[in-house]
Amino acid sequence: MERASSGPFLRSLSESVPPLILQSDLSMVLETAHPRFEEMRDFLLPFAELVKSPEYLHTYRITPISVWNAAATGLSVRNVLSTLRKEARYGVPQNFETELKTWFGRCGMFRMELDENRLRLTCSKPRVFRGLLHDPELAGLLEDVDGKEGISFCPHGNRGLVKERLIHLGYPVEDHAGYRDGTPLEIHLRGQTIEGNPFSLRPYQVQAVESFYKGGTALGGSGVVSLPCGAGKTVVGMAVMEAVAAHTLILAPNTVALRQWRRELLDKTHLTEKEIGEYSGENKEIRPVTLTTYQMLTYRKSKEEEFLHFGLFEQSDWGLIIYDEVHLLPAPVFRATADIQARRRLGLTATLVREDGKEDEVFSLIGPKRYDAPWKDLERKGYIASVACLEVRVPFSEEERMDYLSMPRRQQFRFATENLEKNAVLSELLEKHRGERTLIIGQYIRQLEQLKSELSAPLITGKTPNDEREELYQAFRDGEEKVLILSKVGNFAIDLPDAQVAIQVSGTFGSRQEEAQRLGRILRPKSDGGTAHFYSLVTEATVDQEYGEKRQRFLTEQGYSYDILTPETLHEGGGCL
């Protein structure tokens, strides 16, 4: 969590001492007090995942998916191993090096290409292929198998299913079979926005588009671009639309996000109202650019019936499908995506972390990570706001502490999360940031309803009608409302560029993805260049604090650190850094 900044531990380290300790269980330990800590953290970020982040020692692990995503962005095993050998204090364990070489080596072993009108799957190591054919599910998806030569064919409809099965068996497929062009549609980004403000792609956005599209060749056209909220993922999506120049289907997490896409398309491209359709509960428009939601696509009258709107995938000759907030992709849409591999697919997200562990499905059915920008790099260059992250540990009252200790563990989390002592801390934070536009975000409606009553502030939940949500968001943008209370709808794409403070009163267990999304609500650069503040209120010495530490792990990996405060240090002015 917090980095050490002084003391004998720091003084005992010198730059000449290698900062990494590699272990035979494929974990890596990095000392946070080392002079080159940040350099090594940035080196590990593309191919390793942070799993523990206590004060002095951060523990990372490598996984096949983390390695394959890194390889897709151009990282090589030679570069990784040469740096590890140089920076590992006690050397690189033999099995560590072997596993890295194995996982990197599997990239490109399987290759899918178009052979006349058939899909040919080849394996550069036929012996491996023959072994995998003992898997009945894989064998059932292929035809005309030549195990001796490592060659087989698969029906076009099995393209995604073959890739999905092979990734589960531990082998990524390089898909070079290409894509349908789709119905042509000229899309041009404006030289400037309607308001007259200069608009052009930032350098990292240009790189993201090029990394995804790869000049229109079969080498690109499917995959994920990962950028923090506020860094312009929507702009990247529109620039990809311009490059593909075809009818486009855009999937968004909710109706609010859908309509934000519509506004952005009208503002930053030459598309007209008539060219953009909304396919929602209120409208069923199918136009050259059509926007819908995951909820719409997964709607069905009962669990026994078919999904009513899956036909949308085939109701136009789409040349591109954009999955906004792809980390939220629901299982039924995964299945549909397996059937539409001949269309270009772009996933946009702040983090590929999925708490259900389905990163492998994103990899096989949407595509590998094509571009990922370290958050702190973008902050240093002024593309996103600098943020002070603060965790306020709030004690229980003596009576509530006794109640908490007597509960079964499964009840303790919610009880600790809804600790009434947080309300006084929240009021003090609002007073400290009086006049600043502040979002209060939480998990439990009962807790938020109580805060709405106490603070006389508007509350937006999943049940709030879309028109009312839009009015409240606009009032917040215009400065008429300084404080908004949000349920989990605050986790998703909402365009509130002037939000300066976010206060999290409760979260979803240890969801790293949720923490990243909530911080993202205040990452847009501030007009005055000031620092934004992200507070997380947790109940001290409870499972609420334990899960809070887990939620922070992804942001710690990105270079953020949380200063620890108590109600007493708030009184001393510690809340405004």
d(CA 150, CA 86): 38
Q: Which of 325, 381, 333, 379 is nearest to 352 (CA)?
A: 325
Per the CB < 8 A criterion, the answer to whether 487 and 518 are in contact is no
Closest by Cα among 24, 65, 70 to 47: 70
203 CB contacts (<8 Å, ≥6 apart)?
Answer: none
CATH-assigned architecture of domain 379-571: 3-Layer(aba) Sandwich (3.40)
Domain boundaries along the sequence of the chain: 8-105, 111-175, 203-373, 379-571
User: pLDDT at position 318, please?
Assistant: 98
CA-closest candidate to residue 222, choices 290, 173, 258: 173
Give the pLDDT confidence score for residue 186 in this predicted structure.
95
The span from the CA of 479 to the CA of 468, in Å, is 17
Q: What is the pTM of this model?
A: 0.90
Res 105: pLDDT: 96
The residue behind tokens 């969590």 is 1
The pLDDT tens digits for 394-448 are 999 999 999 999 999 889 999 999 999 999 999 999 999 999 999 999 999 999 9
- Could you count the other beta carbons within 10 Å of the beta carbon of residue 341? 25
Q: Which residues of the chain have pLDDT under 70?
A: 1-13, 192-199, 493, 571-577
Q: What size, in residues, is the chain? A: 577
pLDDT of residue 120: 98
- Give tens-digit pLDDT for 176-211: 999 999 999 999 998 754 444 556 899 999 999 999
Q: Is the dihedral of CA 487, 518, 563, 87 positive or negative?
A: positive
Sign of CA dihedral 468, 474, 477, 479: negative
Neighbours of 546 (CB within 10 A): 15
CATH of domain 203-373: 3.40.50.300
Question: Does 379-571 match 203-373 at the fold level?
Answer: yes
